[in-house]
Structure 1
Amino acid sequence: MATIPWLADVLRSAGVQVKEEGSWLTRMRPGDFNPIGVLWHHTAATSSATNPHPALNVCINGRSDLPGPLCQALVDYHGVFHIISAGRCNHAGTSGGSGPIPAGDGNTLMIGWEIDYNGVSQEMTAAQYNASIAATAAVLTRLGKDASYARGHRETSTSGKIDPSFIDLNVMRSDVAAKMSGGNAWSTIVDNTTAGRFTASANWGVSTYSSQRYGADYRYANPVLASDTAWYKVNIPATANYRVDAWWPAVSGYNSATPYVIATTTGNRTVYVDQRTGGGQWRSLGTFALPAGDANRVGVSRWTSASGLVIADAIRVTRV
């Protein structure tokens, strides 16, 4: 059975904060372990700044129905990687196959991160996400694999797992690929509350109704066949290709065809989004050529014939 005694050193070399938990080098389940990929999970426990790793003990020792260890590392609220095992763990179950990960014994095939958040009313923190991207990139580099070997448990599960909630796994893989190709890609987030970066008319109200919102609140407006766009201003550093992601809270009464307007080098492009579903996470609108300069680059328009409120919450722009 193979082990990965290099895990702590590889993560530290990638700038990830690491805490080695007890006898992690010898703590493992019996059976084969020859990993080719990394699998992301969430713990279903509610973490906080003052209780950053509530599921740590369970991940080390297991449950009455599932003996530990339950992952190679737990990622706490602050983005600290608690290293639990250098060998096989009970985290993945049976893999149904996803991308280059074949069907079979997931515990043999993949290294598992348990990211400590509840996944229902709580999404992962920025610190957890950024540390998990850096760690995944470093481990896949060590394994000689590309970013397609990073998967979420809901992609490989044969038993209906939903983890990790509130992230777009394709965006995650793009971020891992960017990290592997030379470090951090330029990226910026503009929320509806970002000072000097968001403008909307008085027709756009403010809401805290959905817990899937990004930040403190979001904006909403009734659809109308007229131009009344809420704009996000972005300072693009150089003319190049950029991926544009949007975040909205999904509610059944929201609009099924909300227009997002992207101001590209060749004019405005419009992408229609169903805001009744897919909320509480970054969703890609596509990749576009954007001109350098500080200007309104992404907007949410009210001009749609579909019923339901249109929502403007947050956008993210990443150079690719």
Structure 2
Amino acid sequence: MATIPWLADVLRAEGVQVVEEGDWRNRMRPGSFDPIGVLWHHTAATSSASNPHPALNVVINGRSDLAGPLAQCLVDYNGVFHVISAGRCNHAGQARASGPIPAGDGNTMLIGWEIDYNGVDQEMTPAQYNASLKATVAVLRRLGRDASYARGHRETSVTGKIDPSFIDLDVMRSDVARLLNPPPTGWSAIVDNATAGRFTASANWGTSTYSGQRYGSDYRFANPVAASDPAWYQFAVPETGTYRVEAWYPANSGYNNLAPYIIVTSTGNQTVHVDQRVNGGAWRSLGTFTLTAGDENKVGVSRWTSGTGYVIADAVRVTRV
């Protein structure tokens, strides 16, 4: 029977706080164990800051109706991983097919996290969720599997289990995938007014090649109005985080002195006004902002301004910082 004596080490290497519970490398159930994925559970016990792991003894030793250990790890209220077993555990039972996990013996195929919360009127704590993500990433990386091999018990159970409660498992897998495949350091992208599929503007925005300070072959211009008619720049932001947003525009004395740039941040739209009469023909920083992951409109140039002169929409650059 295979075992995973490396479990505590790979968790620590991922930044997870670990407590090794007794002789965990030799604590296991008889039978086959050849894991291909990770299964999330909740214990149904009520944890708290003063009682962070009420189900620990049960997960180690089992219940009257089910022999322990009941999972490879228990995740306490503070996100600490208590490593219980390096081998087969009674946590998954018979499994139905879910994603890439085939139907069969779940205890053979899956490594289990018992996350210590009751799942009825108590949700997983942020510390539990974040630690469980990191631990899942560590194990899937060691197994050579992608995020689709992370499942919830309610997805594989043939007996109607509901755990883990209060969590969107598709979002969980998306978060695992993001951590498994982080974007390159210093990720950056440029969207020009001519970038196909990433720039949109109404017919009210004209096209000009007048200024030699333009980015690319041309740029867009429009008269200011008291109405919402922005030109939008769409970016595929790889992960939620802090990004520097920069604008490129040609400067001219006839251009707008209060051109509004709209940045779609994680907490709502923020507007930065730029004097497009000066400092053109180069990247100008609009500031740093928290942007959410996703491929959508992230920056706009609005016509709604009290300034005078044409509003210009040329190019925008977004860079992870």
| Letter matched to residue 93 of structure 1 | G
CA distance in 1, matches of 2:72, 2:62: 13
**Counterparts of 1:1-320 in structure 2 under 5 Å?**
1-182=1-182, 239-241=235-237, 287-292=294-299
CA distance in 2, matches of 1:292, 1:122: 38
| Letter matched to residue 296 of structure 2 | A
| Letter matched to residue 152 of structure 2 | G
Q: Identity of paired residues, percent? A: 74
| Letter matched to residue 20 of structure 1 | E
CA distance in 1, matches of 2:79, 2:294: 29
Specify every segment of 5 or more residues in structure 2 that has no aligned partner in the other structure, as ranges.
Answer: 186-233, 241-262, 266-292, 301-319
State the 1:242 CA deviation: 7.0
CA distance in 1, matches of 2:128, 2:18: 12
1:98-149 residue CA offsets vs partner (Å, 9 max, x unmatched): 0000000000000000000000000000000000000000100000000000
1:208-227 residue CA offsets vs partner (Å, 9 max, x unmatched): xxxxxxxxxxxxxxxxxxxx
Is the Cα–Cα contact under 8 Å of residues 264 and 289 in structure 1 kept in the other structure?
no
Q: Rate the CA distance shift 1:25–1:184 in 2: closer, same or farther, 3 A.
A: farther
TM-score by length of 2: 0.60
Is the Cα–Cα contact under 8 Å of residues 242 and 290 in structure 1 kept in the other structure?
no
State the 1:291 CA deviation: 1.6
CA distance in 1, matches of 2:171, 2:100: 17
| Letter matched to residue 37 of structure 2 | G
CA distance in 1, matches of 2:20, 2:239: 36
Is the Cα–Cα contact under 8 Å of residues 71 and 91 in structure 2 kept in the other structure?
yes
Give the corresponding residue for 2:279: none
| Letter matched to residue 91 of structure 2 | H
Q: Rate the CA distance shift 1:184–1:178 in 2: closer, same or farther, 3 A.
A: farther
Is the Cα–Cα contact under 8 Å of residues 178 and 184 in structure 1 kept in the other structure?
no
State the 1:89 CA deviation: 0.1
Deviation >4 Å, runs of 4+: none
1:249-283 residue CA offsets vs partner (Å, 9 max, x unmatched): xxxxxxxxxxxxxx979xxxxxxxxxxxxxxxxxx
Is the Cα–Cα contact under 8 Å of residues 183 and 239 in structure 2 kept in the other structure?
no
Q: Rate the CA distance shift 1:184–1:169 in 2: closer, same or farther, 3 A.
A: farther
- 3-state SS, counterpart of residue 40 of structure 1: strand
RMSD: 2.5
CA distance in 1, matches of 2:10, 2:44: 27
Specify every segment of 5 or more residues in structure 1 that has no aligned partner in the other structure, as ranges.
Answer: 186-237, 245-262, 266-285, 294-318
State the 1:292 CA deviation: 4.7
Q: Rate the CA distance shift 1:58–1:183 in 2: closer, same or farther, 3 A.
A: farther
1:16-63 residue CA offsets vs partner (Å, 9 max, x unmatched): 000000010000000000000000000000000010000000000000
CA distance in 2, matches of 1:8, 1:110: 16
- 3-state SS, counterpart of residue 69 of structure 1: coil
State the 1:290 CA deviation: 3.4
1:260-316 residue CA offsets vs partner (Å, 9 max, x unmatched): xxx979xxxxxxxxxxxxxxxxxxxx95413259xxxxxxxxxxxxxxxxxxxxxxx
Q: Rate the CA distance shift 1:243–1:170 in 2: closer, same or farther, 3 A.
A: farther
Q: Rate the CA distance shift 1:288–1:10 in 2: closer, same or farther, 3 A.
A: same
State the 1:75 CA deviation: 0.2
- Residues paired across the two proteins, number: 204
CA distance in 1, matches of 2:16, 2:85: 17
State the 1:72 CA deviation: 0.1
- 3-state SS, counterpart of residue 8 of structure 2: helix
| Letter matched to residue 16 of structure 1 | V
CA distance in 2, matches of 1:34, 1:183: 31
- 3-state SS, counterpart of residue 97 of structure 1: coil
